[in-house]
Amino acid sequence: MVTLLPILPRAAGFVRFQRLRPLLLVLPLLLGLGACTGPGTTTDERRVFRYNQPESLTSLDPAFARNQANTWATTQLYNGLVELDDSLRPGPGLARRYEIAPDGKTYTFRLRSDARFHDNAVFAGGQGRRVTAHDFVYSFRRLLDGATASPGGWIFRGKVLEQAGGEPSDTCFVAVNDSTLRIHLKEPFIPFLGILTMPYAYVVPREAVRKWGKDFRAHPVGTGPFMFKEWDEGNAIIYHRNPNYWKKDAQGRRLPYLDAVQITFIQDRKTEFLTFMQGKLDFLSGIRAGSRDLIMYPDGTVREDFRGKFRLQKVPYLNTEYIGMQQDLTNLRGDNLATGRALQDLRVRQALNYALNKPELLAYFLNNVGRPGNSGFVPASLPSFSAAKVPGYSYELAKARKLLAAAGYGPGKPLRLRLNTVAETKELCEYYQKKWAEVGVLVDIDVNQGAAHGEMIDNGRAAFFTRSWLGDYPDAENYLALFYSPNFAPAGPNKTHFKNAAYDRLYQQAKLEQNDTRRYALYQAMDRIIVAECPVIAVYYDEVVRLTQNNVQGLTPNPMNQLVLEKVSKN
pLDDT tens by residue, 198-246: 999 999 999 999 999 999 999 999 999 999 999 999 899 999 999 999 9
> For position 19, what pLDDT does the model report?
42
Q: H/E element holding 260?
A: strand 260-264
Average pLDDT, the chain: 91
In this prediction, residue 549 has a pLDDT band, given cuts at 50, 70 and 90, of very high
**Residue 367: its pLDDT value, please?**
93
The string over 313-343, giving b where at least 16 C-beta atoms fall within 10 Å of a residue's C-beta and e elsewhere, is: ebebbbbbbbbbbbbbbebbeeebbebbebb
H or E stretch covering 320: strand 311-325
Bond preceding residue 9 cis, omega within 30 of 0: no
User: How would residue 171 be classed by pLDDT, with cut points 50, 70 and 90?
Assistant: very high
Q: Which fold has domain 82-206?
A: Dipeptide-binding Protein; domain 1 (3.90.76)
The one-letter amino acid at 179: S
Its CATH class, for the domain covering 12-77+224-270+549-570, is: alpha beta
CATH architecture of 316-544: Roll (3.10)
Picking from 462, 442, 465, 463, the residue whose alpha carbon sits closest to that of residue 537 is 465
pLDDT at 65: 96
Taking the C-alpha atoms of residue 293 and residue 291, their distance in angstroms, rounded to an integer, is 5
Burial (0-12, 13-18, 19+ Cβ within 10 Å), 413: exposed
Check residue 411 and give its pLDDT: 85
Instruction: Please report, for the chain, the start and end positions of each structural domain, with discontinuous segments joined by +.
Output: 12-77+224-270+549-570, 82-206, 316-544
In this prediction, residue 13 carries a pLDDT of 37
Q: Is the pLDDT of residue 393 over 80?
A: yes
β pairing state of 48-52 and 260-264: parallel
Average of per-residue pLDDT across 152-170: 93
Q: Quick check: 14 pLDDT over 80?
A: no
Looking at residue 33, its pLDDT comes to 54
Give, for 137, the enclosing helix (H) or strand (E).
Answer: helix 133-144
- For residue 6, the model assigns a pLDDT of 31
44 pLDDT more than 80: no
Band the pLDDT of 28: cuts 50, 70, 90.
low
Q: Which amino acid is at 378?
A: V
Q: Can you give the pTM of this predicted structure?
A: 0.86
Exposed/middle/buried for residue 450 (C-beta within 10 Å: 0-12, 13-18, 19+): exposed
Closest by Cα among 441, 470, 260 to 379: 470
pLDDT surpasses 90 at 175: yes
Q: Are 468 and 183 in contact (CB under 8 A)?
A: no
Pairing of strands 552-553, 415-422: unpaired
Helices within 490-534 (DSSP H only): 501-512, 516-533
pLDDT over 50 (residue 169): yes
Kindly provide the residue ranges of all beta strands, DSSP E only, lying in 339-388, ordered along the sequence.
371-372
